[in-house]
DNA sequence: TCGCAAAGTGTATTTTTGACACAAAGGTCC
DNA sequence: GGACCTTTGTGTCAAAAATACACTTTGCGA
């Protein structure tokens, strides 16, 4: 819209990111702790901040995420807009806003995003106003700042829906993984038990996994086979028409 | 956030509505024509406008929709936020904004919504800056104002997804309808052909329709049976756990 | 070597899907 | 009133998919 770049903050619009991670056991979410305002407890929060005036929304989400946690180049999927006029009105949040925002009373509409990352190859690097950035198991997440709890619920709902339509779970796993890990991942996300044999049969029938020579080592039980996701086969499958990814 | 009401416009955030209607034959969308700016053709547009400063997003969407088309008390589902910095930069749009907006250069992020209404019991009543409000068959919709085309595509995608998860189609039909009408509706939304017998079998097996005594009259062929949607049975079904609504 | 823990595997039954064609009803037109 | 047109409404069979279910294998540790 403007010819010159305008990297001022847009005081009315922010982006918040729900980053899911999987530690091969439980589903986690990346949360930050804000710099403490003296004399007040502070909630954990989703990484998020105001966008720039001339910045596309998803670019902003990525930038903000990077500034607060060090995560880079993540594919973010939009959850939606959250715009309750009272969404910033909890006392702790008001205090924090007064401390850091130019216009702490402004109404801000936020755009929620979510993504999946492998917890292994990423160590949170808090910066900016994030005093800490930590993976928290999803069942242990209590109250969050602002309406972040609501954004989280929305993201989780979208994630579940998506998982029944696209085999996105691989983004949460290391490149090599076992079928049991994938199985646990599906159970963690969907929040239900899935029969082991039926899960394996269906997953393998999709023919988007490649079994590797390698097997687990040093485990005190039968070592399991490693697999990797075959993106090529997946795309071919989509082209030839396939839709039955649900469990 | 504020104690006193603040019905000023928020110059940065708008709401746009994609209203789907079904004329028992084709899927339509409710579009408005803006007041013409002298000397310029103008595109059709989705009903939409800036929100108020203290207004929840969905309230705003409903208000705006009502002001432009007369539609009232519609359940609107969010499509998402659309915030490309260049989304208002087409020349026709710029001219129109200059004519009507206080701050025509402001960057505006819009929140898209969609809904389904019965075309029968509603006649568009254009008002405000809408010179006309008209149902347009979805295949005949050409270029739209701003990024409204993109919002429309997004809404249609959500609608399809939703239809495979919830039998929402009934909202588009009169209270009494025939299975053929419902069949055509599904085909219109999903954009595919569905086998008549298989469609009927599956739909009836859900046991959420009630067949009425009444049949069609005055049609030059075998008259068809009327049905109505049984909301009670539908909710019971959800409680006992059912998920196979897809076609 | 015994025990433990998780991996890995097959079958039988039921349910769902998909493909497919013809008779029934009512109006229209001559 | 009979021929014809249009849309409704119906059943079966075969293939595919879902579900339920239990025991053997492997490797480590004690």
Q: Which of A15-19, A53-57, A97-101, A109-113 has the lowest mean pLDDT?
A: A97-101
Indicate yes or no: CB of B107 within 8 angstroms of CB of A80. no
Q: Which CATH code fits B174-239?
A: 1.10.10.10
Distance, Å, B227 CA → C4 C1': 61
Facing residue for A80 by CB, picked from B53, B81, B85: B81
B151 touches chain A (CB under 8 A): no
Asked if CATH classification 3.30.1360.200 holds for the domain at A176-239, the reply, yes or no, is no
- Cβ neighbours of A111 in B, within 8 Å: 81, 83, 109
CATH 1.10.10.10 boundaries in chain A:
176-239
Spatial separation of the C-alpha atoms in residues A67 and B6, rounded to whole Å? 34
A81 contacts in chain B (CB < 8 Å): 57, 78, 80-81, 109, 111
Question: Cα(A153)–Cα(A146) distance, rounded to whole angstroms?
Answer: 13
- Whether residue A80 and residue B84 make contact (CB cut-off 8 A), yes or no, is no
* Residue B194 clears pLDDT 60, i.e. is over it: yes
Residue of A1, A14, A150 to mutate, interface with B, max B Cβ within 10 Å:
A1
Instruction: Inform me whether the pLDDT recorded for A39 exceeds 70.
Output: no
Give the confidence band of B107 by pLDDT, cuts at 50, 70, 90: very high
Spanning CA of A58 to C1' of D18, the rounded length in angstroms is 40
CA at B222, C1' at C26: how many angstroms apart?
5
Kindly report, as residue ranges, where domains of CATH 3.90.79.10 are found in chain A: 9-163
pLDDT of residue B97: 94
Give CA–CA dist A42/A59, Å, rounded: 28
* Interface subset of A 99-118, CB within 8 angstroms of B: 105, 107, 109, 111
- Chain B residues touching A56 at Cβ < 8 A: 83-85
What are the pLDDT digits (tens) for A147-170?
Answer: 999 999 999 999 999 999 999 999
Q: Say which CATH topology domain A9-163 has.
A: Nucleoside Triphosphate Pyrophosphohydrolase (3.90.79)
Find the residue in A nearest to B104 (Cα): A1
- Is the predicted pLDDT of residue A124 greater than 90, yes or no? yes
**Average pLDDT estimate for A208-217:** 95
Give the pLDDT band (50/70/90) at residue B5: low
pLDDT for res B102: 94
Segment A240-245 shows an average pLDDT of 92
Residue A140 in this model has a pLDDT that exceeds 90: yes
């Amino acid at each position: 819209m403007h010819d010159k770049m305008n990297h001022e903050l847009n005081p009315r619009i922010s982006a918040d990111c729900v980053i899911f991670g999987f530690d091969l056991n439980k589903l986690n979410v990346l949360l930050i702790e804000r710099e403490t305002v003296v004399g007040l407890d502070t909630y954990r929060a989703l990484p998020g901040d105001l966008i720039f005036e001339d910045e596309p929304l998803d670019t902003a989400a990525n930038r903000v995420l990077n500034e607060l946690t060090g995560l880079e180049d993540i594919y973010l999927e939009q959850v939606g807009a959250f715009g309750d006029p009272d969404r910033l009105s909890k006392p702790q949040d008001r205090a924090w806003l007064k401390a850091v925002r130019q216009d702490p009373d402004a109404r801000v509409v936020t755009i929620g995003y979510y993504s999946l990352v492998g917890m292994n190859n990423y160590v949170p690097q808090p910066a900016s106003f994030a005093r800490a950035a930590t993976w928290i198991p999803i069942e242990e997440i209590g109250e969050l700042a602002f309406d972040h709890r609501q954004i989280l619920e929305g993201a989780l709902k979208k994630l579940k829906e998506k998982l029944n339509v696209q085999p996105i779970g691989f983004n949460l796993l290391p490149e090599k993984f076992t079928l049991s890990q994938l199985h646990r991942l599906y159970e963690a996300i969907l929040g239900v038990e899935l029969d082991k044999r039926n899960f394996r049969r269906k997953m393998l029938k999709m023919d988007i996994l490649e079994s590797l020579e390698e097997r687990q080592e040093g485990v005190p039980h039968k070592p399991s086979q490693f697999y990797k996701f075959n993106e090529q086969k997946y795309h071919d499958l989509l082209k030839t028409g396939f839709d039955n990814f649900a469990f």
